[in-house]
Structure 1
């Protein structure tokens, strides 16, 4: 039952440059049959969590001067619960809002379209691209949705995709796996590996030793310039493992508190406008002593602020840089915005998961987001381990579309007759924070001696001072 997950873990660990002998330390257990889908979501989820835990265990061993790495445990139920953490989240009993009313599949004249309009500015751009005015007499979202549906029913999906993109909005035509394979972006993605991790510039050897047992990332200062799920899952995991994570958001770009409540565990959060001199100075002071910078904005969006990987490498030799995108940094869609739901639709996953009624389907979790998040955390940890002997500035690049290609092409599947049901309650916890009483999914990353929970619940987004607390790794 674990053969495919083991092979997938071996493959990813090799891409990260890890010693192949270490994967023998991974133990898979749990109920099996979780995250049921036509595609091998369970195997993908298992392997992404496994390599993350293995990278953490490896770094913990290196920090204590060597020896046998601690055993890594991957529990199917814990992984499945964590991969839908946003669905389990409750704050004072209230569930989080996951998708807005205009974020959905729509029937078009020749197929289906998937839209994403969770943010107010994306909603406005979607309506502008479709030439659907949000009139003052609109009697709620149902009436507006009916207008959008009527407009799209008369459009070809690809034409609507381009019209919304031209307006700065987010919509993609639902494609079959073959249609994506022959699409220029799909063809470009197919030529890339799942991820890349490389040394891009010189940098000092990292003198990172000792530290609290089970906290291999202790002492690392992480600037979190990410949004939504994948990037925040990566930095949430680094916070679990002892890193000091400070999320930085622009005050003029809205982000939902619900989303932060799910992925803000263990972190602090501040708001800085890099166009303002005082805020830029505060950010530069943070960057001067940061060890890791993780970015998750559309490729090129941060370049004007001097935050491209190359500029960061020149500014702060010895950084570990994690760069996350939806479609990759190449090809005709390299500069486009995207989210897990859109990537599933464009890359053929929605078609592959369609039901008997031929309606587009979805994966049982936003698995591209969550899986890529654990892979990104693993890449950061592996880079830090490499820096302890070889130094250098390291860049990890990941894309949701590359994760989708790996899921559809390379992961493989175990035969499993189980129903897919599992008991989530033992993998949930409750605690009180400044915002109220949280119920949340516990982290799935586990190795002998590792923490089983974060040190702090999330606070209010953007409410913390823009400064590090305590000593860093440098």
Structure 2
């Protein structure tokens, strides 16, 4: 194991506002041939997993009163974890990945990336292009070929669909949204609403998770997390908190079903239920859950949940003491702040797809690294906020905000820097990395489930989740812990 702290680890740890002296607790090892790309994807992955592991170790020490455990980052485990959505199997069956209409299309003046994995997104894409509901690849290719890429982007988004013109780094930097991203930090983590003590529960007591005796194996033991996220970054974050002992309850709207294949990967350690927050009875159930929560994680478009009283300001007033973590694709600012987005679309917009492509067509990172990376970074921010709550002046509501575009900017400009896009190694292609070593199998309600092992590793860390993924949306809407 090497004990030299990578530059990316130092940058990410500084972005979390953490004590730089703790970085000496981090070491690295394992095969480094996973995640080959022109951009430094390996460095991004190992750095973010390192700070997430260190944040977990720091919280463990804060809760037990012991020293901060040492962190061991295995590059093979990290690469495997960043490919977890592609490696999951149920009874040997691979998960469905991208749908036929989720791909790059040649436009009249460039390329367009679409995302149509969900039926409602596919329907909106076809409506925007003036095509029937049964249209296939050839029809879409013909419709896009006669239009400018940005015209397709604007038309599809106006119809509620998902399409982004592929831009190079310069064009994105000149775009209003890209310029705003460049002026912001990798993430923000701050305390809002003053330094009040945690709010009382409905039962009249206070949440007593803060200090427990024992080992640092589960630093989030007793912590309750409301998970209002969807594929992929948010669920990766809450899956990590579940690994560390948190009681994580994912809540989805019943009319917006999730892919079971996606949930097989990101539902590890959690429970999943559905509530319609627009219905009185369901909203009251949600309010009862919120009254006993310690952490609320949201991954919807900025402002989408504000009407339910879930803005940070409203939560700080109603539930002082919460940790609120918000994730978005494009950020909470600029002309694209209300747009939906996914990893593949952010890669296309920010110049990553052009950097990773060829003269003939755009390419892609070897994994959905923006999603996975932002997910582990979001978990790290929550862990640091929980540690902050244990300090002498740690009360109040803690707010973490992250965006896929900010992670993308760090990858392209912060990590690659003056070394340029080739800093990460050769383009994506064949690799000697064998993920079998870092996967395992277990019985689940869906069948025999094969999944990647967690990459979070420190002295005493859990080696696996306490429970496998279950059937999406079938758990009762109540906390598992007293």
TM-score by length of 1: 0.95
The 1:51/1:168 distance shift into structure 2, 3 A limit, reads same
RMSD: 1.8
1:370 equivalent in structure 2: 372
Contact 1:115–1:171, Cα closer than 8 Å, also in 2: yes
1:351 equivalent in structure 2: 354
Alignment of 1:27-426 (within 5 A): 27-67=27-67, 69-134=68-133, 138=134, 144-202=136-194, 203-204=196-197, 208-211=210-213, 213=215, 214-355=217-358, 357-389=359-391, 390-412=394-416, 420-426=431-437
SS of 1:223's equivalent in the other structure is strand
The CA distance in 2 between the partners of 1:31 and 1:346, in whole Å, is 31
The CA distance in 1 between the partners of 2:76 and 2:11, in whole Å, is 23
The CA distance in 2 between the partners of 1:260 and 1:313, in whole Å, is 30
Contact 2:3–2:27, Cα closer than 8 Å, also in 1: no
Question: Which consecutive segments of 4 or more residues in structure 1 shift more than 6 A?
Answer: 1-5, 413-419
Contact 1:327–1:333, Cα closer than 8 Å, also in 2: yes
The CA distance in 1 between the partners of 2:311 and 2:348, in whole Å, is 29
Deviation readout 1:174-213 (Å, 9 max, x if unpaired): 0000000000000010000000000011331686112552
Deviation readout 1:332-377 (Å, 9 max, x if unpaired): 001110000000000000001112x431000000000000000000
The CA distance in 1 between the partners of 2:101 and 2:90, in whole Å, is 24
Count of residue correspondences = 462
The 1:403/1:4 distance shift into structure 2, 3 A limit, reads farther
Pairwise CA distance, 1:437: 0.5
Q: Give structure 1 stretches of 5+ with no counterpart.
A: none
TM-score by length of 2: 0.93
Pairwise CA distance, 1:254: 2.1
The CA distance in 2 between the partners of 1:147 and 1:228, in whole Å, is 28
The CA distance in 2 between the partners of 1:470 and 1:408, in whole Å, is 42
The 1:242/1:211 distance shift into structure 2, 3 A limit, reads farther
The CA distance in 1 between the partners of 2:405 and 2:214, in whole Å, is 37
Contact 1:32–1:420, Cα closer than 8 Å, also in 2: no
Pairwise CA distance, 1:106: 0.3
Q: Give structure 2 stretches of 5+ with no counterpart.
A: 199-206
The CA distance in 2 between the partners of 1:62 and 1:200, in whole Å, is 22
The CA distance in 1 between the partners of 2:315 and 2:97, in whole Å, is 33
The CA distance in 2 between the partners of 1:363 and 1:434, in whole Å, is 32
The CA distance in 2 between the partners of 1:395 and 1:55, in whole Å, is 16
Deviation readout 1:142-188 (Å, 9 max, x if unpaired): x6111110000000000000000100100000000000000000001
Pairwise CA distance, 1:470: 2.0
Contact 2:3–2:24, Cα closer than 8 Å, also in 1: no
Pairwise CA distance, 1:315: 1.3
Pairwise CA distance, 1:420: 4.1
The CA distance in 2 between the partners of 1:420 and 1:109, in whole Å, is 35
SS of 1:255's equivalent in the other structure is coil
The CA distance in 1 between the partners of 2:265 and 2:224, in whole Å, is 21
Deviation readout 1:317-336 (Å, 9 max, x if unpaired): 00000000000000000111
The CA distance in 2 between the partners of 1:76 and 1:254, in whole Å, is 34
2:479 equivalent in structure 1: 468
The CA distance in 2 between the partners of 1:212 and 1:265, in whole Å, is 24
Contact 1:224–1:293, Cα closer than 8 Å, also in 2: yes
Correspondence 1:22 to 2:35 = no
